[in-house]
Amino acid sequence: MAYDNILFTVDGGVATLTFNRPKALNAMNSATMAELSDAVSHCRKDDAVKVLVLTGAGEKAFVAGADISQMQDLRPQEALAFMEAGQETLRQIETLPKPVIAAVNGYALGGGAEIALACDIRFASEKAVFGQPEILIGLIPGWGGTQRLPRIIGMGRAKELILGGAQIDAKRAYEIGLVNRILPPEQLMEETLKFARKLAEMPGFALKMAKHAVNYGYDLALDNACRLEVECCAQCFSTDDQKEGMKAFLEKRKPAFKGK
Ligand code: CAA
């Protein structure tokens, strides 16, 4: 698929996907969503991709939400299809068996915040702004915000943002656990890619099992969740990387992981 609305590159195990409609503050229309979905599918299939980084083009925005001009006149059934397509794509990101990092360079509002929430880790520029302002245009979040936000920052804080529609800065987002790190704008990509490259060198199967256990265990009763964890942990013993990791530790040398 040719991409008109995103930029997509792969370098040294790290795929970087840049939302690229800066004139509309990278707002997500259906075409951009379809390209995002295609690129994430590619990341799933391509063994050369170990980690995916999402960011926004331009100085101002990560993604300023779903495209309001496209949504304005939708009938309920069309709105359902638009929201479902977004939800499916964000679920693809969340369940990608590889780490996904959001490098939030500016506005992450509405659907943009929801894309960041579907990622495993969020790094933010000091200029980043987060919010679920859907209520201000007679809507509620439709790409998982009502569900993922409370899971990440807690019910009360999530309701404050979703019901009140206010924007918060990167400092506040960090205080409430919405972002993992705040970085000066000029260091955001450099530091994100440094971390991504570090993850790209980790044993891939163990990364996959770690993400799987956290994601799928989260909503289970503790007994079942711990059972899931033990099985994921045991499966790591089927890999050469586990043998190499432990051997290298005992021989006091750096492991040479092969992703097998
Ligand atoms: N959809 C469509 N176009 C958008 C957009 C969006 N979500 N956000 C910004 N734009 C467009 C503006 O219409 C404007 O276009 P023109 O130059 O053609 O007029 C351009 O981007 C620049 O935006 P502004 O002039 O508004 O820039 P600003 O600096 O004054 O304000 C902003 C920036 C605070 C982010 C403001 O643009 C804004 O509030 N955007 C909308 C945010 C929003 O409500 N997002 C939620 C959408 S609903 C949703 O996402 C549903 C869901 O859960 C899936």
CA-closest residue to ligand 1 atom 1: 67
* CA separation for the pair 178, 145 (Å, rounded): 12
Query: Residue 6 — pLDDT band, cuts 50, 70, 90?
Result: very high
Instruction: Output helix, strand, coil percentages for the chain, rounded to the nearest 5.
Output: 55, 15, 30
Atom of ligand 1 nearest to the CA of 69: 2
- Of the residues 78, 88, 134, 231, which is catalytic? 134
Helix (H) or strand (E) holding 109: strand 107-109
* CA separation for the pair 198, 61 (Å, rounded): 26
Query: Residue 75 — pLDDT band, cuts 50, 70, 90?
Result: very high
Query: Residue 80 — pLDDT band, cuts 50, 70, 90?
Result: very high
Token pair in block for residue 143: 């790409």
**pLDDT tens, 91-143?**
999 999 999 999 999 999 999 999 999 999 999 999 999 999 999 999 999 99
**pLDDT tens, 24-55?**
999 999 999 999 999 999 999 999 999 999 99
Catalytic status, residue 134: yes
Q: Tokens 């987002």: give the residue.
A: 173
| Residue 252: per-residue pLDDT | 98
The region, left, alpha or beta by phi > 0 then psi within -120 to 50, assigned to residue 26 is: left
* CA separation for the pair 13, 51 (Å, rounded): 7
Quickly count: other Cβ atoms within 10 Å of residue 140's Cβ: 12
* CA separation for the pair 143, 189 (Å, rounded): 25
| Residue 172: per-residue pLDDT | 98
6-200 classified as CATH 3.90.226.10 = yes
Mean pLDDT across the chain, nearest whole number?
98
| Residue 257: per-residue pLDDT | 95
Amino acid at 247: K
- Among 28, 29, 68, the mutation site with the greatest number of ligand 1 atoms within 8 A of its Cβ is 68
Quickly count: other Cβ atoms within 10 Å of residue 23's Cβ: 8
**Across residues 217-240, what is the average pLDDT?**
98
Query: Residue 194 — pLDDT band, cuts 50, 70, 90?
Result: very high
Catalytic status, residue 114: yes
Atom of ligand 1 nearest to the CA of 141: 53
Q: Where are the alpha helices (DSSP H) in 133-181?
A: 145-153, 155-164, 170-175
CA-closest residue to ligand 1 atom 53: 141
Q: Where are the domains of the chain?
A: 6-200, 204-250
**103-to-119, 150, 257 alpha-carbon distances in Å:** 10, 21, 27
204-250 classified as CATH 1.10.510.10 = no
Contact criterion met (CB below 8 Å) for 139 and 109: no
| Residue 51: per-residue pLDDT | 98
